[in-house]
C-alpha cells in the first residue's frame, strides 16, 4: 500500500478494547476478505464502499499492551466524506466497537472465568448480509471448505480494490448471478440456489417480502421473533439461526453442531447419544442467560488456543485451516483427554 495517496483515519475504541484479543476471537477473522497478519498485528479488510472497493489496514499501537488505544485505519485510496462515514460504520460493526464496556463487565460478573483475560467481545462481518452468507458457507462442510468458498466468492464476484484485493460480493451482485455460476466458480455445491435466493431477499424491499436489515438489527425486536424469521430463510436451520443470532449480538441461544458434541464429550465429560449431549449442553449454559453463547464460545476458543497457541498468532493458510472436528478428536484422544480443562 506504500506510495498510494490513501485516506488515514483514527477510530476511538472502548476502554477495554484490545484488537489482537477481541478481533481474533471468532473464525471469521480468517475468512476472505479478511486477512490478519500475525507478524505485524495488522488486520486487512476489503470494504465495499459507495465509490467502490477499498482495502483498509487496521492497526492498534502498542500491540495489545494497553487496552483502549485508538485504531489507525489506512485506506489504499482517497475516500470521500461519505465513504469515510461508511468505513467507520462498517469497521465499528465488524469489531463491535459500539458494544459498551459495561456490557462486557456484566458478562464477567455472570461468568468470572474471563475477567482476568478480559475476553468478552466477538468479531463479525461488516454487514448483516455477509454474516448470513458466511454462516451458510459454514454449514455441512469442514472448515477448510468454508475458507475456500469465501475466498472464491470474493475473487469471482467481489468488487476489486486498487490494491488488487476483492471485497465480499454485494447482495445485488449475487442476486444477479446464476446459481450454476456460483457452484462452478465458488464451489458452494448445493448451497448455490439458496445463496442466490438469500441475496435476492436482501435486495427486495420488506414491503415485497424482502429482508429488513433494520428490523433484524433493531435491539427492540424480540429474540423469539428474530429466531422465527431466520428459520424461515432458505438454507437457515437451527444451527445457522442460532449462530446468526449471536452475530446480531443476541447471545442467549447456542449454535450447537458436531464441534459442540466433541466439546461436550471430551471437555465436559458427557456421554450418551448426540441428542442427549446437546440437551445437556443447553442445560449447562442456561445459567449464563443472555451471555450463554459467550461462555460457551470462549470455552471452545480456549481449547483451540491450548492446541494452536493464541489466536492472534494463527495464519489462515496454516493454523487457520487446521480446524476440523475429526482432527481435534484425534488430538484429544492422543492427549488421553483425562478430563483436563474441565472448567465448571
Partner DNA sequence: GGTAGACCTGGACGC
Partner DNA sequence: GCGTCCAGGTCTACC
Q: Work out whether strand 34-37 and strand 71-75 pair parallel, antiparallel, or are unpaired.
A: unpaired
Q: How many whole angstroms separate alpha carbon 208 and alpha carbon 204?
A: 6
Minimum CB–partner distance for residue 149 and DNA (Å)? 7
Q: Does 137 bind DNA (CB under 7 A)?
A: no
Minimum CB–partner distance for residue 260 and DNA (Å)? 7
Q: Does 319 bind DNA (CB under 7 A)?
A: no
Q: Which is nearer to DNA, 81 or 275 (CB)?
A: 275
In this chain, which of 78, 326, 333, 340 binds DNA, going by CB under 7 A?
A: 326
Minimum CB–partner distance for residue 197 and DNA (Å)? 9
Q: Does 141 bind DNA (CB under 7 A)?
A: yes
In this chain, which of 20, 74, 96, 194 binds DNA, going by CB under 7 A?
A: 194
Q: Does 189 bind DNA (CB under 7 A)?
A: yes
Contact 154, 125 (CB under 8 A): no
- Which three cell numbers, joined as nine digits, stand for 341? 480443562
Q: Which stretch binds DNA (CB under 7 A): 36-44, 67-75, 135-143, 284-292?
A: 135-143
Q: Which residue has the cell 456484566?
A: 106
Minimum CB–partner distance for residue 190 and DNA (Å)? 3
Contact 124, 247 (CB under 8 A): yes
- In whole angstroms, how large is the CA radius of gyration of the chain? 20
Q: Which is nearer to DNA, 124 or 152 (CB)?
A: 152
Q: Which is nearer to DNA, 44 or 137 (CB)?
A: 137
In this chain, which of 240, 248, 268, 302 binds DNA, going by CB under 7 A?
A: 240
Contact 259, 325 (CB under 8 A): yes
Nearest CA to 96 out of 313, 248, 316, 302 is that of: 248
Q: How many whole angstroms separate alpha carbon 41 and alpha carbon 204?
A: 39
Q: Does 144 bind DNA (CB under 7 A)?
A: yes
Sign of the alpha-carbon dihedral angle for 337, 266, 147, 36: negative
Please report the DSSP string for 261-316 in residue order.
HHHHHHTS---S-HHHHHHHHHHHHGGGGGGHHHHHHHHHHHHHHHHH--GGG--T
Minimum CB–partner distance for residue 144 and DNA (Å)? 5
Q: How many whole angstroms separate alpha carbon 260 and alpha carbon 253?
A: 13
In this chain, which of 42, 145, 181, 252 binds DNA, going by CB under 7 A?
A: 145
Q: Does 181 bind DNA (CB under 7 A)?
A: no
Near DNA in 275-294, by CB under 7 A: 275
Q: Does 325 bind DNA (CB under 7 A)?
A: yes
In this chain, which of 68, 238, 290, 341 binds DNA, going by CB under 7 A?
A: 238
Near DNA in 244-273, by CB under 7 A: 257-259
Nearest CA to 262 out of 158, 335, 167 is that of: 335
Q: Does 234 bind DNA (CB under 7 A)?
A: yes
Q: How many residues at the interface with DNA, by CB under 7 A?
A: 30
Q: Which stretch binds DNA (CB under 7 A): 53-61, 142-150, 245-253, 292-300?
A: 142-150
Q: Does 187 bind DNA (CB under 7 A)?
A: yes
Q: Does 92 bind DNA (CB under 7 A)?
A: no
**Farthest CA pair distance, the chain:** 61
Q: DSSP 3-state assignment of 331? A: helix
Q: Does 236 bind DNA (CB under 7 A)?
A: yes
Q: Distances in Å between the alpha carbon of 24 and those of 95, 97, 158, 171?
A: 10, 14, 23, 26
Q: Point out which residues bind DNA (CB under 7 A).
A: 139-142, 144-145, 148, 183, 187-190, 194, 231, 233-241, 257-259, 275, 324-326
Amino acid at each position: 500500500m506504500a506510495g498510494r495517496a490513501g485516506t488515514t483515519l483514527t477510530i476511538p475504541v472502548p476502554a477495554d478494547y484490545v484488537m489482537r484479543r477481541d478481533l481474533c476471537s471468532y473464525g471469521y477473522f480468517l475468512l476472505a476478505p479478511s486477512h490478519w497478519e500475525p507478524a505485524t498485528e495488522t488486520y486487512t479488510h476489503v470494504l465495499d464502499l459507495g465509490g467502490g472497493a477499498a482495502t483498509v489496514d487496521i492497526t492498534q499501537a502498542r500491540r495489545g499492551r494497553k487496552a483502549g488505544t485508538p485504531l489507525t485505519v489506512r485506506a489504499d485510496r482517497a475516500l470521500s466524506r461519505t465513504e469515510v462515514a461508511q468505513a467507520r460504520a462498517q469497521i465499528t460493526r465488524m469489531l463491535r466497537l459500539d458494544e459498551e464496556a459495561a456490557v462486557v463487565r456484566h458478562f464477567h460478573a455472570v461468568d468470572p472465568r474471563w475477567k482476568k483475560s478480559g475476553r468478552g467481545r466477538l468479531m463479525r462481518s461488516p454487514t448483516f448480509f455477509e454474516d448470513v452468507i458466511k454462516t451458510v458457507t459454514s454449514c455441512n462442510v469442514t472448515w477448510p471448505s468454508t475458507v475456500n468458498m469465501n475466498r472464491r466468492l470474493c475473487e469471482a464476484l467481489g468488487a476489486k480494490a486498487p490494491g488488487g484485493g476483492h471485497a465480499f460480493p454485494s447482495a445485488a451482485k449475487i442476486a444477479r448471478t446464476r446459481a450454476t455460476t456460483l457452484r462452478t466458480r465458488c464451489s458452494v455445491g448445493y448451497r448455490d440456489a439458496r445463496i442466490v435466493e438469500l441475496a435476492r431477499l436482501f435486495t427486495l424491499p420488506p414491503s415485497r417480502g424482502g429482508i429488513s436489515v433494520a428490523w433484524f438489527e433493531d435491539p427492540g425486536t424480540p429474540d423469539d421473533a428474530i429466531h422465527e424469521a431466520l428459520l424461515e430463510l432458505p438454507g437457515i436451520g437451527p444451527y445457522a439461526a442460532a449462530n446468526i443470532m449471536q452475530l446480531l449480538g443476541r447471545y442467549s441461544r447456542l449454535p450447537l453442531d458436531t464441534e459442540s458434541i466433541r466439546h461436550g464429550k471430551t471437555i465436559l465429560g458427557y456421554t450418551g447419544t448426540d441428542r442427549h449431549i446437546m440437551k445437556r449442553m443447553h442445560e449447562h449454559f442456561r445459567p449464563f442467560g443472555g451471555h450463554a453463547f459467550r461462555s460457551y464460545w470462549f470455552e471452545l476458543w480456549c481449547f483451540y488456543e491450548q492446541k494452536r497457541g493464541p489466536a492472534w498468532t494463527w495464519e489462515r493458510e496454516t493454523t487457520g485451516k487446521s480446524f476440523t472436528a475429526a482432527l481435534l478428536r484425534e488430538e484429544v484422544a492422543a492427549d488421553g483427554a483425562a478430563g483436563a480443562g474441565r472448567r465448571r
